[in-house]
Amino acid sequence: MRTAAGLTAGVAAGVGRTALLVAAARAVETYRPDALSQDFFAEHFVRAAPVSADWPVRPDQVPEGSADPVWGRLGRYFGLRTRVLDDHLLRSARAGTRQVVLLGAGLDSRAFRLDWPPGCSVHEIDTGEVLAFKQAVLDRIGATPVADRRTLAADLHGDWADALLETGFDPAAPTAWLAEGLLLYFPAAAETRLIATVDRMSAVGSTLAYEIKEVSESAPVRTGPVYVAVRQRLGIDLPALFDSDPRPDSAGELSGRGWTVSVRSPYDFTALHGRGPRPQPNDALAVNRWVFAAAAE
């Protein structure tokens, strides 16, 4: 059997490595005295991959604290995003939705750590390499999911709907869809195709939450302290990974298909929770938007 250390190829480069960045940020957030979210599984993923084994997983391992551009500012953003999307999924579940699909699940541990009502199924879709690494770590620590967890190795740029049906997904039942930190990296055509697939497979009462960049970032933002620090310290060139083509109006497309859509700034939720990142000059977070949609008749 391949070990977690032997399965790191898929999470050691490109978009896969960003899953480790988010996991490390979630780990640090977990142990803050004013934590916005808690994920006690996250540090195990970070420590299991050689590329991230020495990254911080506790606040006291970040010498600059909240002033640190990576684990302070960007990390707090990921902590806030986790909290907001956790709340979104749980609201859907408590309103009666029993089917959840995590598109580009990465090292998400929601099937294990959230308080799901009885009868919930959580479908996780990602590359085979990422899912295998994730499973090896979860097996090693003896993790047990709270919900009925089902995984699917698939390329979300292409056709994945039939494969999802084969895992027991029911398109006649309301679904809570989540694309966290996924569409930022997608070409416009792939984003449009994914949104159309979600719409086609969604019953009335389904919800969808996803993250986009409203416009491309300016040169001063792309060379700002957050992106420079991530590149120099972690070897992740985030602006190079983001697709720079003009973005489709996915929110408008959903509205046209009968969905009720709300587009929010992360700073709306900083204000709501009283903590989290705040605007800065040449802000790497200023063009990020979180979209929340509900399928109506």
Q: Give Cα separations from 230 to 22, 76, 226 (angstroms).
A: 12, 14, 6
What is the predicted pLDDT for the residue at 150? 98
**E strands in the chain:** 99-103, 121-126, 148-153, 176-179, 207-213, 259-264, 288-295
How many Å apart are CA 292 and CA 186, to the nearest integer?
19
Which CATH number among 3.40.50.11900, 3.30.70.100, 1.10.10.60, 3.40.50.150 corresponds to the domain 5-295? 3.40.50.150
Q: pLDDT for 171-211, tens place per residue? A: 999 999 999 999 999 999 999 999 999 999 999 999 999 99
How many Å apart are CA 240 and CA 231, to the nearest integer?
10
What is the predicted pLDDT for the residue at 255? 97
Q: pLDDT for 20-65, tens place per residue? A: 999 999 999 999 999 999 999 999 999 999 999 999 999 999 988 8
Q: Are strands 259-264 and 176-179 parallel, antiparallel or unpaired?
A: unpaired
First to last CA, the chain: 48
Q: pLDDT tier at 11 (50, 70, 90 boundaries)? A: low
15 pLDDT more than 70: no
What is the predicted pLDDT for the residue at 214? 85
User: For the chain, what are the domain ranges?
Assistant: 5-295
Cβ–Cβ < 8 Å for 247, 286 = no
